[in-house]
Amino acid sequence: MTEERLEFIVKDRGERVDKLVQANLPAYDLSRSQVQALIKDGHITVNGAPTKPGVKLSGGEKIDVTIPAEEDEDTTPQAEEMPLDFVYEDEYLGVINKPAGLVVHPGVGNETGTLVNGLLARYPWLVETERKGIVHRLDKETSGLMLIGKQADTIEALMSQFQERTVDKAYLAFTERVPRTSIGTIDAPIGRDPKQRKRMAVVRNGKSAVTEFEVLEQDFLGDQALIRCVIHTGRTHQIRVHLAFIGAPVVGDTVYGYRKQRLTLKRHFLHAAELAFDHPVSGERLIFESELPAGLQNTLDKLRRK
């Protein structure tokens, strides 16, 4: 990967440099410490000058970010032992409960500690496959059900089901506002944000994206809503972009939602709760459900009106 140079203009007053850079580069899944290392090495500047992680901005500054090129001598992900929560596994595939904070693929700033690293430790032969077991992905801070394949032909067969849209996926999202209708379909194309290319947005020339939603509950102290979303396409950040588009951004989403959050969550409130697909060998329809993580469930319980 070659060196990348990015820039953006600060909109709000009072934001820390490191937090702002992290929020504006979601595609890189950079941790705060990784951003701080980039600042220390001079790869992030404010109005062309070196800066420090904790500097608070006034608004209007130009931030320049250089993402260094990856080293060429070792591009193969390394196997790393890590606990993985399997809800199903056989000789062909597995379904895991991915925790929030776990990155799926190695990349700039995330060369280790990813799901791929963990899968290679559990199934060493996957190193010979192109996708290292990954059939689809979830965002770093999205938790829930994720499907992995254990052989190249299985991976290909499962990916075909995603392409043919025979896989059913449903998510639970907690939103800052209640949508105008209790049931609806968001049919709006998604592509790169022309103003910030590392973000996604609803754009006229984007790829087709369809999300169905249903409000499950809306009697919360802060007028939020618990929503079930079913996606018929798999665009990057699709649910987060679509819900923000209809004025109901996901709680905790500082990229597409409120920069200054009303609730102090360390992640965005989005959970992959349902997954159904056909077993590529037996043909059996497999259906899985995943409960909300304890932290998200506690948030709902505290905010419900008595």
Span 13-60, pLDDT tens digits? 888 888 888 877 766 767 777 888 888 888 899 998 888 888 888 888
Note if 193 is an active site residue.
no
CATH superfamily, domain 4-67, is: RNA-binding S4 domain (3.10.290.10)
* Cα–Cα distance measured from residue 181 to residue 128, given in angstroms and rounded to the nearest whole number: 48
- Decide if 251 contacts 176 (C-beta within 8 A): yes
* Cα–Cα distance measured from residue 302 to residue 128, given in angstroms and rounded to the nearest whole number: 48
pLDDT tens-digit series, residues 256-269: 998 788 888 889 99
pTM (whole model) above 0.95: no
Residues of the chain with CATH 3.10.290.10: 4-67
Tokens 């595939």 map to which residue?
Answer: 93
pLDDT tens-digit series, residues 274-286: 999 999 999 999 9
Position 75: which residue type?
T
**CATH code reported for the domain at 170-271+298-303:** 3.30.2350.10
Whether 220 shows a pLDDT value over 60: the answer reads yes
Catalytic residue among 72, 139, 193, 278: 139
CA-based end-to-end distance of the chain: 54
pLDDT at 192: 86
pLDDT at 72: 44
- pLDDT average, residue stretch 107-121: 86
* Cα–Cα distance measured from residue 170 to residue 211, given in angstroms and rounded to the nearest whole number: 10
* Cα–Cα distance measured from residue 246 to residue 207, given in angstroms and rounded to the nearest whole number: 18
* Cα–Cα distance measured from residue 38 to residue 34, given in angstroms and rounded to the nearest whole number: 6
pLDDT at 75: 67
CA angle 124, 97, 266 (to 5 degrees): 115
Residues of the chain with CATH 3.30.2350.10: 86-164, 170-271+298-303
Neighbouring C-beta atoms of residue 216, cutoff 10 Å:
12
DSSP string, 47-101: TTEE--TTPBP-SSPEEEEEEPPPPSS--SPPP------EEEE-SSEEEEEEPTT
Highest mean predicted confidence (pLDDT) among 136-140, 161-165, 283-287 = 283-287
- pLDDT average, residue stretch 157-184: 95
Residue 108: pLDDT band by 50, 70, 90 thresholds?
A: low
Query: Between the CA of residue 235 and those of 200, 214, 303, what are the distances in Å?
Result: 9, 20, 31
Residue 193: pLDDT band by 50, 70, 90 thresholds?
A: confident
pLDDT at 73: 43
Which CATH number among 3.40.50.2300, 3.10.450.40, 3.30.2350.10, 3.10.20.30 corresponds to the domain 86-164? Answer: 3.30.2350.10
Residue 196: pLDDT band by 50, 70, 90 thresholds?
A: confident
- pLDDT average, residue stretch 236-248: 96
Whether 2 shows a pLDDT value over 70: the answer reads no
* Cα–Cα distance measured from residue 228 to residue 210, given in angstroms and rounded to the nearest whole number: 14
What percent helix, strand, coil does the chain show, rounded to 5? 20, 30, 50
Tokens 């505290």 map to which residue?
Answer: 302
User: Percent of the chain having pLDDT more than 70?
Assistant: 95
More confident residue, 306 or 18: 18
